[in-house]
Amino acid sequence: MEKITDIYPKFQEVVSILQKALNVSFSSALTETFDNLENEKIKVEEGAPDKETVAELTEKYRKLNYENLPKDLKVQVFTLLALKSINEDGRNYTQLPTPSIIATIIALLWQKLINTDSSKLEVVDPAIGTGNLLYSVIRQLVQENHSKNPYKLVGIDNDETLLDLADVGAHLDGLKIELFNQDALDPWMVPPADIILSDIPMGYYPLDNNAKRFENHAKEGHSFAHILFIEQIVKNLNKNGFAFLVVPKIMFTNAVQGEFINWLGKKVNIQAIIDLPTDMFANATQQKSILVFQNHGDLAKQRNVLVAQLPSLKDNKALIEFSVKLNEWYKNNQ
């Protein structure tokens, strides 16, 4: 059985060879590498890569023994390489894949709140990036639900390169998804969602004219992108629908942004606010929380808000303690 520590350098090498041969970003070379491996054929356009590189890659691909690797190992390698591609290509830290442990926490919340017997649920991630958060959550839910998959997945992002990575990631996970390349603060090209799951971008939104379409736009200067995103999510969430969002922690501590939380509390039923461990983030401004809410509707439930601060998740005991607290909260708020 191949180990990730043994096989990762071999995959990184073939991506780097293709990147040099095509003179493209690491992200683009990563997408093309997995396309080549999945199709068992090296794509050549206008003589690139050249014959020598094709011969070299053919031999190195053979040694990867790709067709016999377990699916979960392929996913793991691809996820690590996607993380490297964000760093290699000099992207903003907000575009980094969401840590998998956050997906586990969201999956625990999801299992308590969502009826898994539903025939079909439209799930949208309006800032999908590489797809790591969405796929990690769905993978865990499907596994817990005896491989039953009632989810119709949709992803939105304004970065086409990241969407290419998300497309490959879905294929490796055996998931079907529709991907849309657009500014998620423009009107969505998809129907309202039953569930919206996203690690939403933080910072300022530069398009002031577009921001004015939102109730919570700044009266002066640029508006906060994360606030506009959440308002857009509320607009695009079905009645009784749920949102599971990774948001800046500052939203709950800053007085100005606190006004938005008051606005949100009137629009939806806030279910949970979970502060993530501080040691997951480089500094205080990058710290995040998980926000869960349900849209109003005839089946919506107004529960006491579950508020929790997660200690370091390097100790598995912290996740167990959170699960116990979640069970108690749900039992007392059905």
Neighbours of 268 (CB within 10 A): 21
Rounded to 5 degrees, φ, ψ at 270 are -70, 130
Please give the pLDDT value at position 98: 59
Residues near 163 by beta carbon (within 8 Å), at least 6 away in sequence: 128, 155, 157, 179, 181
Rounded to 5 degrees, φ, ψ at 180 are -125, 125
pLDDT per position as a tens digit, 17-37: 999 999 988 889 999 999 999
Query: What does the pLDDT average to over 70-75?
Result: 89
Please give the pLDDT value at position 257: 67
Max mean pLDDT range (23-37, 137-151, 181-195, 319-333): 181-195
Please give the pLDDT value at position 82: 84
pTM score, whole prediction? 0.86
pLDDT per position as a tens digit, 200-236: 988 899 999 999 999 999 988 899 999 999 999 999 9
Average pLDDT taken over every residue of the chain: 88
With 0-12 / 13-18 / 19 or more C-beta atoms within 10 angstroms meaning exposed / middle / buried, residue 328 is exposed
Residues near 33 by beta carbon (within 8 Å), at least 6 away in sequence: 11, 14, 15, 18
Domain spans in the chain, listed from the N-terminal domain onward? 4-88, 93-332
Q: Which homologous superfamily does the CATH classification assign to the domain defined by 93-332? A: Vaccinia Virus protein VP39 (3.40.50.150)
By mean pLDDT, which of 109-118, 160-169, 221-230 is the weakest? Answer: 109-118
pLDDT per position as a tens digit, 39-54: 899 999 888 899 999 9
Per-residue pLDDT band at 92 (split at 50, 70, 90): low
Residues near 306 by beta carbon (within 8 Å), at least 6 away in sequence: 271, 272, 273, 274, 292, 325, 326, 329, 333
Assess whether pLDDT exceeds 80 at residue 127: yes
Please give the pLDDT value at position 93: 47
- What is the bridge-based pairing of β-strands 193-199 and 177-181? unpaired
- Which of the four CATH numbers 3.90.870.30, 3.30.70.20, 1.10.150.470, 3.30.1370.160 does domain 4-88 have? 1.10.150.470
